[in-house]
């Protein structure tokens, strides 16, 4: 083997695909994962999709560091290591790259981390920038010939109707809480802080409904019966195609009796479309993550969140809840236009709206975003973002007093996830929410085990015991059909409370 690996097309290539570890953040759901006896929240969808683009006669292994350790024998086995990562996984990436260098295994890096910041990784000899579909044939040819280039750059946005079904056979589905599929890429909006349009563009590209159903059918046949996260940048970026998919999903679920449900990400203008809401709920969607960001009209204007301006955001949230969806909300503090009472206003909005899963983060300037470029021009950019907006630190000089902003953020997070406030927010949500009709109690063995763990952790061992039992007993008596949801939300709250508490141990550096 030379520096670039084996030469010659007759060699059965051995590729190790590594997904780095995700730190303890909102989206890691690490404490939820433990409670429900799983190892990770979501599978490495990008890596599994890339694996499906490699020749079928190659030998492939996937190591998800959220599930297992990277062992020396993994590296000894491999000819090449493919590494796909997000910015938040940077620390884990550096560790993996060092391990590969020590083992003389060449690394090919890809994913958002490298697409927007590959210059930071001189240790990585080969990188794929942008989406993989159009560059993979050249990469595979060069791998076979032992002539890898330093950089493979996608020249445009690929046609995702050619994207293959992910290689689900390379992982153990039982390790994960939720599976993941993707229908579309891109978002039609232009929020200043968002790097989606940098990577995936503003014109949504979608798979065909039959294509996505084929992916779901593969999961169903593999025995998957639980939730599926449709990881689109904005599921309703193209409403016409979203409707077509939903109608096909309804037919598929009716014909197969597929259990489980879906969650996804969408813009707040979903609330303007009753038909789309009805179809989503009928197709099995139960949750939607919405970027609400802030109740401050001035801050919405500043970040160019045009889809949120000029509307009653509280009413929009309640409309989606009443249609049968749980709204998971993204919120941001730290805009230049934020008033001094922004923390009070955020708390009151979140409590009153019943956005139980409120993911509040500090504004961060991600590479190549319009926010990043503006702050750089203004001389306010201080360092690169770590990608974790739940750390109590900033990578730019804010307009609000820095200490006031950081302490206010910590206080807001702790107030939101303090047991009494959190359980009250669940009750506010349950009053608004109109779930699909069904049996009053539908608890699987996994649900029962999770409840028994929550009984001990939340009902005995931790503070907030009274509020926990009050929530469960009142829900069981008054809203038995929502009891399973109340348990799930109580468990998720434990994770967010742990994340909020950890903020008290971090600071701006």
How do residues 157-166 score in pLDDT, each as one tens digit? 999 999 999 9
How many Å apart are CA 441 and CA 347, to the nearest integer?
32
325: exposed, middle or buried (Cβ count in 10 Å: 0-12, 13-18, 19+): buried
pLDDT greater at residue 163 or residue 452: 163
Q: How far is CA 123 from CA 112, 120, 143, 224, in A?
A: 17, 9, 19, 39
Q: What is the mean pLDDT of the chain?
A: 93
Rounded to an integer, the average pLDDT of 190-214 is 96
Q: How many residues does the chain have?
A: 509
Q: What pTM does this model have?
A: 0.94
- pLDDT (0 to 100) of residue 34: 85
Rounded to an integer, the average pLDDT of 198-210 is 96
Banded pLDDT at 505 (limits 50, 70, 90): low
Whether the per-residue pLDDT at 113 is higher than 60: the answer is yes
* 8 Å CB contact between 327 and 288: yes
Whether the per-residue pLDDT at 508 is higher than 90: the answer is no
Q: How far apart are the first and last CA of the chain?
A: 44
pLDDT in tens, 244-274: 999 999 999 999 999 989 999 999 999 999 9
What percent of the chain is modeled with pLDDT above 90?
Answer: 84
Other beta carbons within 10 Å of 442: 11
Banded pLDDT at 506 (limits 50, 70, 90): low
- pLDDT (0 to 100) of residue 31: 86
pLDDT in tens, 357-397: 999 999 999 999 999 999 999 999 999 998 887 777 899 99
Superfamily of structural domain 178-358: Aldolase class I (3.20.20.70)
Whether the per-residue pLDDT at 8 is higher than 50: the answer is no
Handedness of CA 268, 274, 279, 281 (dihedral sign): positive
* 8 Å CB contact between 35 and 450: yes
Give the DSSP letter of residue 10: T
Handedness of CA 302, 308, 311, 314 (dihedral sign): negative
Banded pLDDT at 5 (limits 50, 70, 90): very low
Whether the per-residue pLDDT at 439 is higher than 60: the answer is no
Banded pLDDT at 195 (limits 50, 70, 90): very high
Whether the per-residue pLDDT at 303 is higher than 60: the answer is yes
Rounded to an integer, the average pLDDT of 53-79 is 98
Whether the per-residue pLDDT at 435 is higher than 80: the answer is yes
pLDDT in tens, 333-363: 999 999 999 999 999 999 999 999 999 999 9
Q: Number of C-alpha atoms within 13 angstroms, CB side, residue 243?
A: 10
Beta-bridge partners for 107: 81
Please tell us whether the domain made up of 14-153 is placed in CATH 3.40.50.280. Answer: yes
pLDDT greater at residue 60 or residue 391: 60
Banded pLDDT at 4 (limits 50, 70, 90): very low
pLDDT in tens, 411-424: 999 999 999 999 99
Query: 4-24 burial string, b = 16+ CB within 10 Å, else e?
Result: bbbeeeeeebebbbbbbbbbe
How many Å apart are CA 430 and CA 358, to the nearest integer?
15
- pLDDT (0 to 100) of residue 436: 73
How many Å apart are CA 199 and CA 223, to the nearest integer?
33
- pLDDT (0 to 100) of residue 347: 98
DSSP-derived pairing of the beta strands 14-19 and 184-185: unpaired
């Amino acid at each position: 083997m030379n520096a670039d690996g084996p030469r010659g097309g007759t060699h059965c290539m051995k590729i190790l695909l590594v997904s780095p570890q995700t730190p303890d953040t909102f989206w890691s759901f690490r404490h939820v994962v433990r409670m429900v006896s799983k190892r990770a929240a979501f599978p490495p969808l990008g890596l599994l999709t890339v694996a499906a683009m490699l020749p079928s006669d190659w030998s492939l292994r996937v190591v998800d560091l959220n599930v297992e350790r990277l062992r020396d024998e993994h590296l000894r086995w491999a000819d090449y290591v493919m590494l796909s990562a997000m910015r938040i996984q940077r620390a884990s990436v550096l560790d993996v790259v060092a391990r590969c260098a020590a083992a003389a295994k060449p690394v090919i890096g890809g994913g958002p981390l490298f697409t927007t910041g590959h210059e930071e990784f001189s240790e990585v000899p080969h990188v794929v920038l942008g989406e993989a579909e159009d560059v993979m044939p050249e990469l595979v040819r060069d791998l076979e010939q032992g002539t890898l280039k330093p950089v493979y750059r996608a020249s445009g946005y690929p046609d995702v109707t050619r994207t293959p079904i992910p290689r689900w056979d390379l992982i153990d589905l039982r390790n994960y809480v939720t599976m993941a599929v993707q229908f579309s890429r891109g978002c039609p909006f232009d929020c200043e802080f968002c790097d989606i349009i940098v990577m995936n563009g503003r014109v949504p590209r979608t798979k065909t409904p039959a294509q996505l159903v084929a992916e779901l059918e593969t999961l169903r046949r593999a025995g998957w019966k639980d939730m599926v996260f449709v990881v689109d940048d904005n599921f309703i970026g193209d409403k016409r195609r979203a409707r077509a998919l939903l109608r096909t999903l309804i037919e598929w679920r009716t014909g197969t009796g597929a259990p489980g449900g879906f969650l996804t990400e969408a813009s707040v203008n979903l609330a303007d479309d009753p038909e789309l809401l009805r179809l989503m709920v009928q197709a099995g969607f139960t949750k939607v993550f919405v970027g609400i960001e802030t109740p401050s009209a001035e801050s919405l204007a500043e970040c160019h969140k045009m889809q949120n301006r000029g509307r009653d955001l509280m009413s929009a949230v309640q409309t989606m809840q009443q249609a049968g969806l749980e709204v998971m909300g993204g919120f941001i503090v730290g805009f230049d236009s934020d008033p001094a009472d922004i923390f009070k206003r955020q708390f009151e909005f979140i409590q009153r709206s019943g956005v139980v899963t409120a993911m509040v983060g500090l504004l961060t300037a991600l590479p190549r975003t319009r926010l990043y470029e503006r702050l750089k021009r203004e001389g306010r950019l201080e360092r690169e973002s770590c990608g974790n907006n739940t750390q109590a630190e900033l990578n730019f000089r804010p307009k609000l007093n820095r200490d006031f902003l950081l302490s206010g953020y910590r206080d807001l997070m702790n107030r939101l996830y303090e047991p009494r406030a959190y359980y009250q927010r669940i009750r506010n949500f349950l009053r608004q929410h109109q779930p699909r009709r069904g049996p009053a109690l539908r608890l699987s063995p996994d649900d029962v085990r999770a409840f028994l763990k929550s009984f001990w952790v939340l009902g005995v061992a931790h503070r907030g015991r009274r509020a926990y039992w009050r929530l469960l007993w009142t829900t069981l008596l008054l809203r038995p059909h929502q009891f399973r949801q109340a348990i799930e939300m109580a468990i998720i709250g434990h994770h967010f409370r742990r994340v909020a508490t950890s903020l008290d141990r971090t600071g701006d550096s």
